[in-house]
Amino acid sequence: MPDALRARFVGAGQGHVFKFLDEGKLTAEQASALIKQLEAIDVTLVNELFAATTAAAASEAASGPVAAKLEPATGVTDVTKSDRAEEWRAHGMSMIARGEVAALILAGGQGTRLGFDRPKGEYDVSLPSHKTIFQIQAERILRLKALAAAGAAAGSSGTGAPLPLYVMTSPMTDADTRAFWAEHAYFGLPVEDVFFFCQGTLPSLSMDGKILLETGWKVAENPDGNGGIYRALHLSGAVADMRKRGVKGVHVFAVDNVIVRAADPTFVGYCDAQGCDMGSKVCAKAGPHEKVGVLCKRDGTYTVVEYSEMDAATAEMTNTGTGELTFNAGNICIHYFTVDFLATTCAPEALPKVYHLAKKNILTAHPDTGKTMSKAEQAAVLGHAGNNGIKLESFIFDVFPRSKHMAVLQVPREAEFSPVKNAPGSADDSPDTARALVSALHGKWLASAGVSDAASFALVEVSPLASYGGEGLPAGSLPAEHPAAARGDATCLLVVTPGEAAKLGVTAPTGIASVGGRSVVVDVVSA
Query: Can you give the binding site for ligand UD1, defined by CB under 6 A?
Result: 106-109, 168, 170, 199, 223, 225-226, 254-256, 292-293, 304, 306, 331-333, 395-396, 419, 421
Name the residue nearer to ligand UD1 (CB basis): 114 or 149. Answer: 114
State the nearest-atom distance from the C-beta of 492 to ligand UD1, in Å: 27
Listed in sequence order, the residues at least 6 apart from 495 whose beta carbon sits closer than 8 Å to its beta carbon are 442, 446, 460, 461, 462, 463, 466, 467, 473, 478, 522, 523, 524, 525
State the nearest-atom distance from the C-beta of 477 to ligand UD1, in Å: 34
Listed in sequence order, the residues at least 6 apart from 87 whose beta carbon sits closer than 8 Å to its beta carbon are 269, 273
State the nearest-atom distance from the C-beta of 291 to ligand UD1, in Å: 7
Name the residue nearer to ligand UD1 (CB basis): 233 or 304. Answer: 304
Beta-bridge partner residues of 408: 76, 280
Name the residue nearer to ligand UD1 (CB basis): 9 or 116. Answer: 116
Specify the long-range contacts of residues 288-291, CB closer than 8 Å, at least 24 apart: 288/312, 288/315, 288/316, 288/325, 289/315, 290/330, 291/428, 291/429
Name the residue nearer to ligand UD1 (CB basis): 221 or 523. Answer: 221
Name the residue nearer to ligand UD1 (CB basis): 164 or 293. Answer: 293
What secondary structure letter does DSSP report for 221? E
Task: Show the CA angle centred on residue 520, arms to residues 511 and 443, nearest 5°.
Answer: 100
State the nearest-atom distance from the C-beta of 281 to ligand UD1, in Å: 11
- Alpha-carbon distance of 521 to 481, in angstroms, equals 11
The residue ranges of DSSP E strands in 314-362, in sequence order, are: 329-338, 356-360
Listed in sequence order, the residues at least 6 apart from 239 whose beta carbon sits closer than 8 Å to its beta carbon are 233, 339, 342, 343
- Alpha-carbon distance of 315 to 401, in angstroms, equals 21
State the nearest-atom distance from the C-beta of 418 to ligand UD1, in Å: 10
Name the residue nearer to ligand UD1 (CB basis): 49 or 478. Answer: 49
Name the residue nearer to ligand UD1 (CB basis): 132 or 477. Answer: 132
Q: At what angle do helices 28-39 and 3-11 cross, to 10 degrees?
A: 60
State the nearest-atom distance from the C-beta of 362 to ligand UD1, in Å: 16
State the nearest-atom distance from the C-beta of 256 to ligand UD1, in Å: 5
State the nearest-atom distance from the C-beta of 371 to ligand UD1, in Å: 27
Name the residue nearer to ligand UD1 (CB basis): 109 or 162. Answer: 109
Q: Which residue is nearest to ligand UD1 (CB)?
A: 293
Q: Which helix (H) or strand (E) holds 514?
A: strand 510-515
- Alpha-carbon distance of 128 to 118, in angstroms, equals 21
